[in-house]
Each structure stands twice: as C-alpha cells, then as structure tokens.
Amino acid sequence: MGLDNIQPYSVLAVDDNLMNLKLIEKALTKEGYTVYTADNGPDARVIALEKQPDLILLDIEMPEENGFDVIKKLKDSSATNAIPVLFLTGVSEVDAKLKGFELGAVDYIIKPFHPQEVLARVRIHLKLSIATNSLIQDQAGKLRQVTEAQAAMLPQPEDFPGARFGVYYKALQEAGGDFYDILNISGNITGYFVADSSGHDIETSYMTASVKALLAQNCTPVYSPTESMKMINDVLVEILPPGKYLTACYMHLNRTTRKLTIVNAGHPPVVCLPAEGEPYLVKAEGDILGMFSDAGFDQVQVSVSEGDRFFIYSDGLVESAENKITWATGADSLLPVYSSLKAVPYADAPREMIDQLFGNNSCPEDDIVLLCVEV
C-alpha cells in the first residue's frame, strides 16, 4: 500500500458544547486522526452510519436525545453496533456509569477533561478494537477454511454420473454436523451414506474426513452392508470422544440384481417413491454409530424397478423444536410432498422439496442433507 492510500483512523465526537467539540477536534486532528463532529444525537447517528468511524466520543447530557438514547440506537443497528463508544460526562455517579456499560459503552471520560487524557483513551480503545477485530477475522478465516474443506469432501452429482443422484446440502453454521458420501463399490453397485453428527463444532467437521476414510475401507464387495456398518461402528467407538456419535443411513444399490439394501443407525427412515405408486417409508431398526461396542443393525432389502426413487435425509428436514415435531412424528407428514416430485427430474428434486418446505420466508432450524437416488 502506498503512502497516499493510508487511511487515518476516524473519531466521531458528539457534544452539545461547541467548545468541547473544538477542543477534541484540535487535539485529535494534530495527531493524525480524522474527526467528525455533531452537536446532537440524531445528527450523530446519521454520521456514524455514513462515515463508520473507528470510535465515538459521546456526551451523555444532551437535550432531547441524550447519550443513553443515542448509544442504545447505535447498538440496536447492525451497521453501527460494533463501533466502540466512550462517554463524555460530568456525571460521576456509579449508577450512571453502570447504565452506560450495560448499554455497551467501553469507557468514560469525566468532564472537565484534558486533551491529552482524551488522546490517551482514544489510543487505548482503538488498540483494543484493532486487536479484537484481528482476532475475529482470524477466527472467521479459520472457520471459512473448515467450511471449504468440509464442502470439498462432499461428492457432487457430476463426479458420479452413474450414481444417478441429486442432493441438497445446507449447514447452518461453519462447522456442519451433517454430511453424505457416494461410494463406487463396483461397476454396478453404488453406496449412498447420509449421517448426522452430534454437535456443530470444528471437531465435528473433522469427523467427516475420518468417516469418509472408514467408508472407503469397509464398504466393499467383500462385506455385506450390515458388516460394513458394524466395522465402522467398532472403530468409531474407539476414536470418538465421550458424548460424540452419529446417526446414519446406508443404502447399497445393486442395479444388476435390482436389489436395494438399507441399513439404518438411529436415523430417519428412507422414503421410497415408486415409478408406479405412492410414496412410503422404509423403516429399519439400528443403534447409533460410535456409542455402543455391541451395537446392532438390521438390514431391509427392497426389490426395485427402473425409475424408482429413494430419498435419504437428515432430521433437519422434518424436525422442528419450535413446533415440537420429531422425525418419528414428522416423516409421515411429508409423504404428500414427495408425491408432488414425480415429474421433477431427480437431480432437481431435493431443491424443489426444500423450496416447497421452506420457501415461504422460513428457514430450517438445523443442518440439512437431502439425497434423491433414482434406480
């Protein structure tokens, strides 16, 4: 950056006493700060919004709109709530100071003040603000890397054209708890895996890589789908920290024999949408992954025909804490929506389903994976 492009730090001084404003402006300007001034609350809020100063010096005792009113409105606005505010006041009562801190002030300067005191406090709080913003940016950058890494591990339909699937994936936080994988087990056999991890922290997102590696190692023609899940569970029991587990559903589709095998591990039931007929739930019992060394998994086998579709999803699609709906009670209620997707191409069906469920200015309460597989 050239010297001509250096942006000076800016301060907004707000006081109905013009003498105080001139004193502050002179003291800060000669030290290289850009200073904006206002002698009333409404003008101060307009300037704060337009100029985005790095710090605000705000008088408490002003007519009409006092400093407490101003800071409350500044903190209520997402555009100005991060700007640090120092109060200028002749009031020394503890209650007044506490009220200011409760409203978001970072410090007080008692009148009458010395210009050097103002300068010193401005420097201190700008340093603190710079450090805080740097920390926030650093953490945000790391979380973006986690998000990008996690997204890069999720296979896309164009990478597996023979798998004939469409997908909708949405993580509400940077570190999503839901994920999916597609496995080319052989030329005519494809595995489809959807899981929901407990928690939404960075540790959870790293679990995605571990489970993907286990799937690649254990979902092979040598093992039955149930054996694959048992072996994955045995490893997860050993490596997952206390309290961590996964619910999961694994579909093993053999397009030559026209057999679909489903193994469920405490996960919502698969929805079958036949080419001819009405949708229904394919229910299978099974323990969650990573919690019990003696976990058991049933497998259900379904004969399939060309054009049949199967939907695997995470519980965020059907559950609502606000409406007290669990996947056990909510899965059946969505069957009419699946019926409406028959004429929609399988690649577009997940997005269409989400639009129908959450398109009216509402949003899901949890991460969502929705996979549509066509035979």
- Average the pLDDT over 348-372 and give the result: 79
pLDDT in tens, 18-61: 999 999 999 999 999 999 999 999 999 999 999 999 999 999 99
Residue 143: predicted pLDDT: 46
* Cβ pair 248, 289 in contact under 8 A: yes
Distance in angstroms (rounded) separating the CA atoms of residues 348 and 188: 23
| First-residue to last-residue Cα distance in the chain | 58
Examine the pLDDT at 63 and tell me if it is beyond 90. no
Residue 191: predicted pLDDT: 96
Measured torsion, CA atoms of residues 128, 130, 131, 136, in degrees rounded to the nearest 10 = 120
Residue 301: predicted pLDDT: 95
Examine the pLDDT at 126 and tell me if it is beyond 60. yes
Examine the pLDDT at 200 and tell me if it is beyond 60. no
Confidence of residue 13 (pLDDT cuts 50, 70, 90): very high
- Average the pLDDT over 182-200 and give the result: 87
pLDDT more than 90, % of the chain: 52
Report which DSSP code applies to 154. Answer: S
Distance in angstroms (rounded) separating the CA atoms of residues 359 and 375: 28
Residue 1: predicted pLDDT: 43
- pTM as predicted: 0.60
Taken in order of first residue, the domains within the chain and their CATH numbers are 3-144 (3.40.50.2300), 153-374 (3.60.40.10)
Residue 358: predicted pLDDT: 82
pLDDT in tens, 251-286: 999 999 999 999 999 999 999 999 999 999 998 889
Q: Which residue has the higher pLDDT, 92 or 204?
A: 92
